[in-house]
Amino acid sequence: MPKLLQLLLLSLLVITSPKTELPDSKRASDVRTVVWPRLEKELKNKGLKAGSAVYLRIFKYQDALEVWLKTGTKYTLFKTYNICYYSGGIGTKTRSGDGKSPEGFYAIEPKQLNPVSNYHLAINIGYPNKLEQLKGYTGNAVMIHGHCASIGCYAMTDPRIEEIYTLIYKAFEGGQQKINLDIYPFRMNKNYMDIFAQQPYMPFWKTLKPGYDLFEKNHIPTDYHIKGKDYAF
């Protein structure tokens, strides 16, 4: 086959290839019908564009989940949701059954949405990530989900997960391929680093702080790489 014809056929395949299909259900669709018009108004009132790329941060000690939306090249805080419940206190998860909730840097892809969860709607955070796998950490199916009960997950209540899930769904629908989720034990400013300085987890927490500091400075999500058995940026 002539090279030019091969290129034309390849271009046609790229143009006609379907978008990645998002997991969906009647439950999630019904939620969007009610929730999305309200969110669109809130976004507009804050000067944010509906369907923009999303970035998430969790601060365990503050019981806070932040949703940031992309505006230009940077991200702007849209809303902070109270976490209803997580188990195990501060300090990261390392093994299945330890009752802890993870801390670290994660990525959410469309396939990680669960629109038929037993906990209303759920988003798999991607634990264990690449570094945690390298360290031999165990466990799976760690979620951000509805209801207000959990062991190892982040339970948001149904109304809150409906908004968070819908914002993520719409971001994927708008073309975002991956959503960064950064989970910290607390806001990693000097005040809290000093308060928790004697905790046995501090050596690990110090490896999270550069990622926190970079976002605080630039308001752009940062991907990590692995150096030895630590996060590096």
Give the active site residue among 120, 153, 219, 225.
153
- H or E stretch covering 78: strand 74-82
145 is an active site residue: yes
CA–CA dist 110, 127 (Å, integer): 15
Burial class from Cβ neighbours inside 10 Å (0-12, 13-18, 19+) for residue 194 reads exposed
Are the C-beta atoms of 94 and 137 separated by less than 8 Å? yes
- What residues pair up with 114 in beta bridges, in sequence order? 122
Tokens of 176: 């975002």
Taking alpha carbons only, the member of 115, 193, 129, 184 closest to residue 154 is: 184
Give the active site residue among 120, 145, 147, 225.
145
What residues act catalytically? 145, 153
